[in-house]
Each structure stands twice: as structure tokens, then as C-alpha cells.
């Protein structure tokens, strides 16, 4: 079970959180201008990264705030957490890659 640092509440058990999938996929501003293929990509196609991955979490059984995390999908090492709208820190590798 992961130990996740909520930017507002600090470190808490994974059971307090809900996973929100890949981060930094903005909802298109004008969906009507997209082709079916482009819209389907937005809806269904997500990156399946082995390694450093930016993803969303919701502290659903806590402060109910959404935030972003950078997690290594092999080691589960959480390399950073940052608030929605913040620039992601530049992290390319985790301990597991060294």
C-alpha cells in the first residue's frame, strides 16, 4: 500500500485516495472541432509508461482535493507531488533507474 503525500494533508495511506489516471490531459476546448479519431484518442488512449509517470490523485477520504503526483511505475517510488495547475517538476528518473 502506497504512502502518498497529499500537498495539503501530508503523508497518508493509499486507502484515503482515489486514483485519477494520467495527468496533464486537458479536456479539449472545442471538442466539436476534433475528428472522431482525435476525440477517441482523448477519451480512451492513455500512456502506459514503464518508469516515471505523471498522474492524478484525489484525496477522496480526506480533504477531497485533487493533485498531481510523479510516480515510478516499477518501484512505486513517488518522486514529487504538486498542486493542480502547477508546472510539473522536471524529473526524468527514479531510484529504480539508477
Partner 1 sequence: MSRVNRTASGGRIDRSKIINFTFNGQRYRGFDGDTLASALLANGVHLVGRSFKYHRPRGIVAAGAEEPGAMVQLEEGAQTQPNIRATQIELYEGLTASSVNVWPSVDFDVSALNGLFAKFMTAGFYNKTFMWPKSFWMKFYEPIIRRAAGWGRAPDKNDPDIYDQMHAHADILVVGAGPAGLIAALEAGRAGARVVLVDEQSEPGGSLLSQNRKIEGLDSSDWVAKAVAELRSMPDVRILSRTVLFGYYDHNYLCAVEQKTDHMPLSQRIGKVRQRVWHFRAKRVIIATGAHERPLVFADNDRPGIMLAGSVQTYANRYGVMPGKNIVLFTNNDGAYETALDLTQAGANIVSIIDVRREAAGELPTRARAAGIEILNGYAITATRGRKRVTAVEIRAIQKGARQYTSAGRWLDCDLVAMSGGWSPVVHLFSQSQGKLSFSAEKSCYIPNISVQSQDVVGAANGTFDLASCLLEGQFAGNAKSAGLRKISVVEPTEGQMEPFWIVPGSVPIGEGSAKHFVDFQNDTSAADIALATREGFENSEHVKRYTLTGFGTDQGKTSNINALGILAGLLDKPMTEIGTTTFRAPYTPVAYGALAGRNLGRWSDPVRVTSIHKWHQENGALFENVGQWHRPWYYPKPGETMQDSLNRECLAVRNGVGVLDASTLGKIDIKGPDAAEFLNRIYTNAWMKLGVGRIRYGLMCHEDGMVFDDGTTARFGDNHFLMTTTSGNAAAVLDWLEEYLQTEWPELKVYCTSVTEQWSTISIAGPKARKLLQKIAPDMDLDPETFPFMSFKEGTVAGMAARVFRISFTGELSYEINVPWNEGLAMWNAVMAAGDEFDITPYGTESMHVLRAEKGFIIVGQETDGTTTPQDLAMNWIVSKKKPDFIGKRSFTRADTSRGDRKQLVGLLTEKADEVLEEGSQLVFDQFAPIPMPMAGHVTSSYYSAALGRSIALALVKGGSGKEGEKIYIPLEGKTLTATIVSPVFYDKEGSRQNGEI
- What residues line the site for partner 1 (CB under 8 A)? 1-3, 18, 20, 26-27, 30-32, 34, 36, 39-40, 42-43, 56, 58, 60, 64-66, 74-76, 84-85, 96
Which is nearer to partner 1, 20 or 51 (by Cβ)?
A: 20
Are the CB atoms for 15 and 61 separated by under 8 Å?
yes
Bridge partners for 19 per DSSP = 57
What lies within 8 Å, CB to CB, of 44 at 6+ separation is none
Least distance to partner 1, CB of residue 1, Å: 5
- For residue 74 the three cell numbers come to 516499477
Which is nearer to partner 1, 1 or 92 (by Cβ)?
A: 1
Amino acid at each position: 500500500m502506497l504512502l502518498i503525500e497529499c500537498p495539503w494533508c501530508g503523508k497518508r495511506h493509499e486507502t484515503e485516495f482515489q486514483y485519477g489516471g494520467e495527468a496533464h490531459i486537458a479536456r479539449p476546448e472545442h471538442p466539436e472541432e476534433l475528428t472522431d479519431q482525435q476525440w477517441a484518442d482523448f477519451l480512451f488512449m492513455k500512456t502506459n509508461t514503464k518508469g516515471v509517470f505523471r498522474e492524478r490523485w484525489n484525496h477522496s477520504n480526506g480533504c477531497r482535493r485533487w493533485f498531481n503526483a510523479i510516480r515510478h511505475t516499477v518501484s512505486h517510488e513517488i518522486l514529487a507531488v504538486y498542486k493542480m495547475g502547477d508546472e510539473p517538476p522536471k524529473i526524468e528518473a527514479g531510484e529504480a533507474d539508477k
